[in-house]
Amino acid sequence: MDSQTLTYIFVGISFAIYIGIAIWSRAGSTKEFYVAGGGVSPLANGMATAADWMSAASFISMAGIISFMGYDGSVFLMGWTGGFVLLALLLAPYLRKFGKFTVPDFIGDRYYSKVARSVAVICALLVSFTYIAGQMRGVGVVFSRFLEVEIETGVIIGMIIVLFYAVLGGMKGITYTQVAQYCVLIFAFLVPAIFISFQVTGNPIPMFGMGDTLVNQPDTYMLDKLDGLSQELGFNAYTEGSKNIVDVFAITLALMVGTAGLPHVIVRFFTVKRVRDARKSAGFALLFIGILYITAPAVASFGKLNMLETVNKKKYTDMPEWFTTWEDLGLLAWTDKNADGKIQYLGEAKEGGDALTGIPAFEEKARGNNGERIVKNPSNNKNELYVDQDIMVLANPEIAKLPNWVIALVAAGCLAAALSTAAGLLLVISSSVSHDLIKKMVYPKITDKGELIAARLSSVAAVVVAGYFGINPPGFVAAVVALAFGLAAASFFPAIILGIFYKRMNKEGAIAGMVVGISLMLFYMLKFKFDFFGGGTSEDWWFGISPEGFGSVAMVVNFVVSISISKFTPAPPQNVQDMVENVRIPSGAGEATGH
Return the percentage of the chain with pLDDT > 90, whole number: 13
Chain centroid, CA 346 distance in Å: 30
Chain segment 478-507, per-residue pLDDT in tens? 556 777 888 889 998 999 999 989 999 999
Asked whether the predicted pLDDT for residue 593 surpasses 60, the reply is no
Give 387's DSSP letter.
E
Q: Which of 409-413, 455-459, 558-562 has the lowest mean pLDDT?
A: 455-459
Residue 285 shares a structural domain with residue 323 = no
**Max mean pLDDT range (31-40, 92-101, 283-292):** 283-292
Question: 2 with 403: CB under 8 angstroms?
Answer: no
User: What mean pLDDT, rounded, does the chain reach?
Assistant: 80
**Residues whose CB is less than 8 angstroms from the CB of residue 252 and which lie 6 or more positions away in sequence, other chains included:** 75, 78, 79, 82, 549
Q: Is it the case that residue 353 has pLDDT exceeding 50?
A: no
474 or 181: which leads in pLDDT: 181
Check pLDDT > 80 for residue 46: yes
Single out the residue in 450, 469, 488 at which a domain terminates. Answer: 469
Tell whether the model's pLDDT for residue 119 goes beyond 70.
yes
Average pLDDT over residues 164-181: 73
> Would you say residue 475 lies in a domain?
no
Is a pLDDT exceeding 80 seen at residue 345? no
- Are 215 and 172 found together in one domain? yes
54-58, 267-271, 377-381: segment of lowest average pLDDT = 377-381
What domain range includes position 191? 3-228+237-292+405-469
Q: What is the mean pLDDT of residues 63-71?
A: 81
The answer to whether residues 409 and 358 belong to one domain is no
Q: Are residues 334 and 287 in the same domain?
A: no
Residue 126 to residue 484: CA distance in whole angstroms: 8
Taking only the tens place, the pLDDT of each residue in 567-592 is: 999 999 999 998 888 877 655 444 54
Q: Note whether residue 496 is domain-resident.
A: no
> 147 and 9 in one domain?
yes
Q: What span, in angstroms and rounded, lies between the C-alpha atoms of 488 and 493?
A: 7
What value does the mean pLDDT take over residues 439-443?
Answer: 78
Do residue 356 and residue 447 come from a single domain?
no
pLDDT of residue 79: 84
User: Could you tell me if 135 and 484 are in contact, meaning their C-beta atoms sit under 8 angstroms apart?
Assistant: no
Residue 514 lies in a domain: no
> Residue 482 domain-assigned?
no
Is position 522 within any domain? Answer: no
Question: What three-state secondary structure class fits 315?
Answer: strand
- Identify whether 572 is part of a domain: no
pLDDT of residue 589: 46
Same domain, 161 and 265: yes
DSSP 62: H
Judge whether residue 148 has pLDDT over 80. Answer: no
Percent above pLDDT 70 for the chain: 87
Amino acid of residue 74: S
| Antiparallel, parallel or unpaired: β 373-375 and 385-387 | unpaired
Of 344, 374, 397, at which residue does a domain stop? 397
Domain count, the chain: 2
The closest of 335, 308, 313 to 399, measured between CA atoms, is 308
State yes or no: pLDDT of 356 exceeds 50.
no
Q: How far is 504 from 572, CA to CA, in rounded Å?
A: 6
Among 363, 397, 431, residue at a domain's last position: 397
Say what the pLDDT of residue 36 is: 55
306 versus 242: the higher-pLDDT residue is 306
- Amino acid (1-letter code) at residue 373: R
Reported as a pLDDT band with limits 50, 70 and 90, residue 350 is very low
Higher pLDDT, 450 or 559: 559
Listed range (26-35, 290-299, 347-356) with the worst mean pLDDT: 347-356
Do 75 and 158 reside in the same domain of the chain?
yes
Whether residue 573 lies inside any domain: the answer is no
**Mean pLDDT for the stretch of residues 50-60:** 76
pLDDT of 355 over the 50 cut: no
Residues 166 and 249 both lie in one domain = yes
In this structure, are 98 and 198 located in the same domain? Answer: yes
The enclosing domain of 241 has a CATH number of: 1.20.1730.10
Taking residues 53-79, report their average pLDDT: 79
> How far is residue 335's CA from residue 7's CA, in Å, rounded to a whole number?
31
- Calculated CA dihedral for residues 497, 501, 502, 508, nearest 10 degrees: 30
Average pLDDT over residues 20-49: 72
Q: Which residues contact 233 (CB under 8 A, 6 or more apart)?
A: 308, 312, 345, 346, 347
